[in-house]
Structure 1
């Protein structure tokens, strides 16, 4: 996932400065992709991604993933590279979603879909499908996890037995989660704490 800070959006992505993402494992290992450097987006660090996907390795093949606040697409694209069946990459910034679509094309990947929408709008409605793995790395200092995690549960976005990954500021208390979400792994790297929960409800 990518960190986004509130700044102006560039109207013309072709003239925008760009960042670079390197996929670190799977089918597209070492592939480098470009994305517009808008809104302060940066890929989740490679070390954090390596740790997360080591945790998820047994559960990725054939999974259906939802990458909210997708930004550069670091997590959703990494999941597809490592065997996810599908991934829906969601971001509100049209420059970023155009780049995500272009990168899926460059990878010749038809298993990924891109949606331009605020995550709040998507999660605020009942799920059209339940996902096996959800990635949530929202912008900091906006209280988004506290607002949106209840929607993930009540609107049934996370499948029974599914996994949800979240990131938040290390200085804050852990966000409240449903009682049937069991904390599987947790780690802190600098100013970021990241956690992986499992939905313990039976299928």
Structure 2
């Protein structure tokens, strides 16, 4: 895994390794990440990432959030409850020297609790596939003030997803077994 573009282009991120099956880590492939960020960069005008506050739910290795930071986001908050994920997140943040513009929250993305800071402009959602956790996490984030009124939601799953109430489908793309759903407020 590596950063595809931006200020850290080509930087190799920490290896997930053969791994901890219990950690359920399934990083977004470089190919899918490159396609996803190309779509975001070709929205007409300035990329929605430039100057954005980004929330990376089910962050895992942090590759999505760090790619966004490399491409101009101003702050990333990572949420994951896994021990292995936290170790990888810390290693990758150190590799990028990004401690000042990142925050790691250890907790359940499906039960965020009230947001104590500014809401987020872009939300990456990459839950374990097929478990309904994405819906629960988005509901929690919306209910608890984590998502800005004009936020963009980028949802990765193994099937197309319906946007939550109050959002509409902007675009859907399929990359092999991976489906990316882009949703914006209605």
TM over 0.5: yes
Q: TM-score range by the shorter chain?
A: 0.7 to 0.9
1:80-159 superposed matches below 5 A = 80-109=69-98, 110-122=100-112, 125-128=113-116, 129-159=118-148
Which whole-Å deviations, capped at 9, do the CAs of 1:158-179 have from their partners, x for residues lacking one? 1011101112222xx633521x
Q: Distance in 2 between matches of 1:189 and 1:95?
A: 27
Q: Confirm whether residue 33 of structure 1 aligns to residue 19 of structure 2.
A: no
Q: Normalised by the size of structure 1, how large is the TM-score?
A: 0.78
Count the aligned residue pairs.
175
User: Displacement, 1:33?
Assistant: 1.3
User: Structure 1 26/100 Cα, relative in aligned 2: closer, same or farther at 3 Å?
Assistant: same
What secondary structure, in the 3-state scheme, does the structure 1 residue paired with 2:110 have?
A: helix
TM-score (norm 2): 0.85
| Cα shift readout 1:107-151 (whole Å, capped 9, x = no counterpart) | 2112111122121232xx222231000011100232112323222
How many angstroms apart in 1 are the aligned matches of 2:122 and 2:146?
10
> Structure 2: which 5+ runs fail to align?
42-46
Aligned: 1:175 with 2:155? no
State the distance in 2 between where 1:77 and 1:52 align.
Answer: 14
| Cα distance in 1 between the residues matched to 2:95 and 2:34 | 23
Residues of 1 paired with 2:104 and 2:15: CA distance?
Answer: 14
**RMSD of equivalent CA atoms:** 1.8
Which is higher, the Rg of structure 1 or of structure 2? Answer: 1
Aligned-partner SS, 1:120 = coil
1:194 is matched with 180
